Structure 1
Amino acid sequence: MIFGIDGFTGKHLSRILKQRGYDVWGTTFPGSSPEENSMTCDITDKNGVANVLHRAAPDFIIILSAVTFVPDGLDREIYDINLFGPLHILQAATTLPKAPRRIIVPSTAHVYGNATEGSLTETHCPNPLSHYALSKYAMEQMIRPFRESLDLVTVRPFNYTGAGQADHFLIPKLVRHFRDCLPEIELGNMDVFRDFSDVRDVVAAYTILLEAESPPEVLNVCSGDAVCIRQILEWLHELTGHTPEVSVNPAFVRANEVRYLYGCNEKLCQLGWRRKYHLQDTLRWMLRAG
């Protein structure tokens, strides 16, 4: 059961799980286009969540419904969806006749805050700097009491992208400007370093975690490399031959910008996961996908 099966990650995850023989069901937000084997559900509706779970009685649950692009929600909405939504799901899961075998609960690497050097491991002290990061860290703490009755795995994905991601995210925005040969592009701080993964690698990690025996309670999902935004612009120029005029829009520069963020994926690799796609591979895929 994928909460948010109609989202960017949900669509890719659903595809790989079906290929592996899973009977995949999911939820879509009321008013969105229906997906195969899907039910509409607003995770802020406690009763609606309970009804969906009791109808599906799933063996596995992955909670992908979330506010991930902060301007999409007000501060209260971020907490309603990212904190109380998962609470409703876990409360309902404890009332099922048969407990799910495993529940994957994505958090975010932004809980680590502003790190200036080194690779971030799962033991790095959290220091969330935004309401988005705070909502996810609060969620991590909220689920702790449920570990007594439910098999929970918390993942902290770093930035990831791929074909089908909305254009308001950074990499799709860059790809569109280069693919369509647009003359100029406005960006924020170009001197930030990020750990970017391919969404196909991320959903492969989630699939491994469904099947792994006794995985860690919390683990990073990341490439293990830090890439500067300026480097991505260079790669896109090499792939397309286009050179847009780049300007910095002060409105896009965050006061509490996390400048250097990349992760250690050692725990994930110990479970058999291996990164398959470099960011240049992902950019080629996105340029071809149109």
Structure 2
Amino acid sequence: MRALITGITGFVGAHLAEELHNQGYEVFGTTRKSCPNAMFANSAIQIIPMNYNSEEDILEILNKIKPHEIYHLAGQSSVKMSWENKVDTLETNIILTVKLLEALRKSDVADSAKLLMIGSSEEYGSIDNENTPITEEAVLRPISPYGVSKASTSLLFQQYVKVYGLKLLYARPFNHIGPGQDIGFVTSDFAKQIVMIEKGIHLPNISVGNLEAQRDFTDVRDIVSAYTMLVEKGQIGEIYNICSGKPHAIKYILTYLLDLSFNKNIQVKQDENKMRPSEFPIYIGDSTKIQEHIGWETTYSIEKSLQDILNYWRIMI
């Protein structure tokens, strides 16, 4: 079996590549020509530079590789960055997806390849407390440019299934965390600051935003397991939440990481610049559908994830 991952050099892409390789797949991945190739531990994972702005380039690669499965991870994934670069976020996430779908429907594998499109819980946006946990049937009311871009791809997904009969599935992951995630995401931001303090690079003060918000965190290794199981067992044309269904306050995340730290004198200071606009106090997903359809459930505890994230930064810094 051959699998193609767009955006393979990203946080999730790297974990997915290893997961698929371990399952016996021949793994191919695309990345922008301007990006350096990822250095995967396993040389069998093949990285292909691709011009995402060229439908012809995408089509050529699809016809050359003839993948059985495609995982579309490429795009701009930061909510914070989407506020700063609205046009780029919309162009990258929407137009890139259209070109991939167009190339797929014109390709030699249009009738055979399964494509998993990756959306986001940010599509749900403004949710009332009485409508939590959030199900796949919730009305989409995105409140960030990133959420708008992903809500648009979910509409494209439905169109290309109904009009062209492509074998598409759609995942809406909630917050995913784990070793290898870049800064700009809460667990990595906390862990990196703590490690810099441990190593004497930074004063023993940690800067934080809103600690009271509760979020639904899932380890990236459980996320990629869900992706592969969805392609194998999921129903074509269906949308699936991927989440733990368990709320954890940001304060708990920070407290647990501080308890793991070698430095017990770290002071916490709130930074108004880190308070995101349109913040919701509780944001939790409902994973009933994916559990019932394919039998997926989380295996990594939040504590195990945090331990691995902290140790990752201890190695990297």
- Tell me the TM-score range normalised by the shorter chain: over 0.9
- Is 2:270 the counterpart of 1:256? no
For residues 227 and 234 of structure 2, the distance between their equivalents in structure 1, rounded to whole angstroms, comes to: 13
Alignment of 1:176-187 (within 5 A): 176-180=192-196, 181=198, 182=202, 183-187=204-208
For residues 179 and 7 of structure 1, the distance between their equivalents in structure 2, rounded to whole angstroms, comes to: 22
Deviation at 1:202, TM superposition (A): 0.1
Deviation at 1:238, TM superposition (A): 2.0
For residues 53 and 259 of structure 1, the distance between their equivalents in structure 2, rounded to whole angstroms, comes to: 43
Determine which of 121, 125, 140 is the counterpart of 2:139: 125
Deviations 1:167-199 (A, max 9, x none): 222111111222333411222221111101100
| Segments of 4+ moved more than 4 angstroms | none
Deviation at 1:243, TM superposition (A): 4.7
Deviations 1:93-134 (A, max 9, x none): 011123243110011001111335321111111110011000
Check whether the contact 2:172–2:242 (CA below 8 A) recurs between aligned residues: yes
Distance 1:132 1:257, change over 3 A: same
Task: Tell me whether 185-194 or 21-30 shows the greater mean CA deviation.
Answer: 185-194
- Is 2:97 the counterpart of 1:94? no
Structure 2 unaligned blocks of 5 or more: 39-44
Determine which of 135, 139, 160 is the counterpart of 2:153: 139
Structure 1 unaligned blocks of 5 or more: none
For residues 143 and 227 of structure 1, the distance between their equivalents in structure 2, rounded to whole angstroms, comes to: 31
For residues 101 and 58 of structure 1, the distance between their equivalents in structure 2, rounded to whole angstroms, comes to: 6
Structure 2 letter corresponding to 1:226 = P
Deviation at 1:156, TM superposition (A): 0.5
Deviation at 1:31, TM superposition (A): 2.5
Check whether the contact 2:212–2:281 (CA below 8 A) recurs between aligned residues: yes
Distance 1:263 1:70, change over 3 A: closer
Deviation at 1:240, TM superposition (A): 2.0
For residues 157 and 136 of structure 1, the distance between their equivalents in structure 2, rounded to whole angstroms, comes to: 11
Check whether the contact 2:245–2:284 (CA below 8 A) recurs between aligned residues: yes
Determine which of 280, 283, 287 is the counterpart of 1:265: 287
Distance 1:178 1:90, change over 3 A: same
Q: Which residue does the alignment assign to 2:189?
A: 173
Q: Which residue does the alignment assign to 2:61?
A: 52
Check whether the contact 1:201–1:277 (CA below 8 A) recurs between aligned residues: yes
Structure 1 letter corresponding to 2:310 = L
Identity among equivalent positions (%) equals: 28
Q: How many residues align?
A: 290
Q: Which residue does the alignment assign to 2:41?
A: none
Check whether the contact 1:198–1:277 (CA below 8 A) recurs between aligned residues: yes
Alignment of 1:221-260 (within 5 A): 221-240=242-261, 242-260=264-282
For residues 98 and 265 of structure 2, the distance between their equivalents in structure 1, rounded to whole angstroms, comes to: 47
Check whether the contact 1:114–1:259 (CA below 8 A) recurs between aligned residues: no
Task: Tell me whether 95-104 or 80-89 shows the greater mean CA deviation.
Answer: 95-104
Q: Which residue does the alignment assign to 2:42?
A: none
Deviation at 1:254, TM superposition (A): 2.4
TM (normalized to structure 2)?
0.87
Deviation at 1:235, TM superposition (A): 0.9
Determine which of 10, 19, 35 is the counterpart of 1:7: 10
Check whether the contact 1:159–1:195 (CA below 8 A) recurs between aligned residues: yes
Task: Tell me whether 69-78 or 144-153 shows the greater mean CA deviation.
Answer: 69-78
Structure 2 letter corresponding to 1:269 = Q
Two-structure CA RMSD over aligned residues (Å): 1.7
For residues 221 and 237 of structure 2, the distance between their equivalents in structure 1, rounded to whole angstroms, comes to: 22
Q: Which residue does the alignment assign to 2:34?
A: 31
Deviation at 1:215, TM superposition (A): 5.7
Q: Which residue does the alignment assign to 2:209?
A: 188
TM (normalized to structure 1)?
0.94
For residues 68 and 265 of structure 2, the distance between their equivalents in structure 1, rounded to whole angstroms, comes to: 50
Deviation at 1:139, TM superposition (A): 1.1
Determine which of 72, 93, 111 is the counterpart of 1:82: 93
Deviations 1:141-161 (A, max 9, x none): 122221032111111100011
Deviation at 1:71, TM superposition (A): 4.5
